[in-house]
């Protein structure tokens, strides 16, 4: 953890993935919310995709972004519940070099204020892989807004003190 003072915003290249068996580009409201959040904050949209809730299809897209020289962060929405098809955590955990345990804990704490004990059904995770931070959140617009505004936005802002994730990400030239 570095505490050097950064006074200017560093825009990141962020990709957005929606995991859903039913969403299309026209109906992907949570994906669009995240894209709007990323670009409004001053970051660059590196890529956007929608994949079926299938472990190997999710891994294919995320692995490509992890291997990319330009994608520094990934936001994933959907596939975090307990239904038979929800497999995003299972798809991504093996790809992580390190997990960010506090993300899921903090998300559920913030979410508890909004939805009560139903938050225990939220299997939100985050981790690092090859200098890329990956945040996974439920597929609802409210959950995406909660995750972005309550946690992710600040951690992807180089000015956030005492620490943020920007200094841990791969450098893009």
Expressed in angstroms, the distance from the first to the final Cα of the chain is 22
What pLDDT does 172 receive?
87
Q: What is the pLDDT of residues 44-62, one digit of tens each?
A: 999 999 999 999 999 999 9
Q: What are the CA-CA distances from residue 54 to residues 16, 23, 87 (Å)? A: 17, 14, 7
pTM of the model: 0.94
What pLDDT does 151 receive?
97
Enter the tokens of residue 82: 């307990």
User: Rounded CA gap, 95 and 82, in Å?
Assistant: 21
What pLDDT does 85 receive?
85
What is the 3-state secondary structure of 27-52? CCHHHHHHHHHHHHCCCEEEEEEEEC
CB atoms under 10 Å from CB of 54, counted, come to 15
Mean pLDDT per 10-residue section of the chain, whose length is 173 residues: 69 97 94 98 98 96 98 95 88 97 96 92 95 96 96 96 94 83
User: Rounded CA gap, 30 and 69, in Å?
Assistant: 26
CB 125, CB 101: distance < 8 Å: no
Where are the chain's structural domains? 13-168
Spelled out in words, what is the top-level CATH class assigned to the domain 13-168? alpha beta
């Amino acid at each position: 953890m570095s505490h050097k003072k950064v006074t200017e915003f560093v825009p990141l290249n962020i990709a957005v993935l929606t995991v859903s068996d039913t969403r299309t580009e026209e109906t992907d409201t949570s994906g669009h919310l995240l894209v709007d959040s990323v670009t409004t904050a001053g970051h660059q949209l590196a890529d956007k995709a929608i994949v079926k809730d299938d472990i190997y299809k999710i891994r294919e897209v995320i692995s490509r972004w992890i291997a990319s020289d330009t994608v520094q962060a990934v936001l994933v929405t959907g596939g975090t519940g307990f239904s038979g098809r929800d497999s995003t955590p299972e798809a991504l955990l093996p790809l992580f070099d390190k997990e960010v345990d506090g993300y899921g804990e903090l998300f559920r704490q913030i979410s508890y204020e909004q939805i009560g004990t139903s938050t225990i059904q939220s299997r939100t995770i985050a981790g690092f892989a090859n200098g890329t931070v990956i945040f996974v959140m439920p597929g609802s617009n409210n959950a995406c807004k909660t995750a972005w505004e309550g946690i992710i936005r600040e951690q992807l802002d180089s000015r956030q003190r005492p620490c943020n994730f920007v200094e841990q990400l791969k450098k893009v030239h």
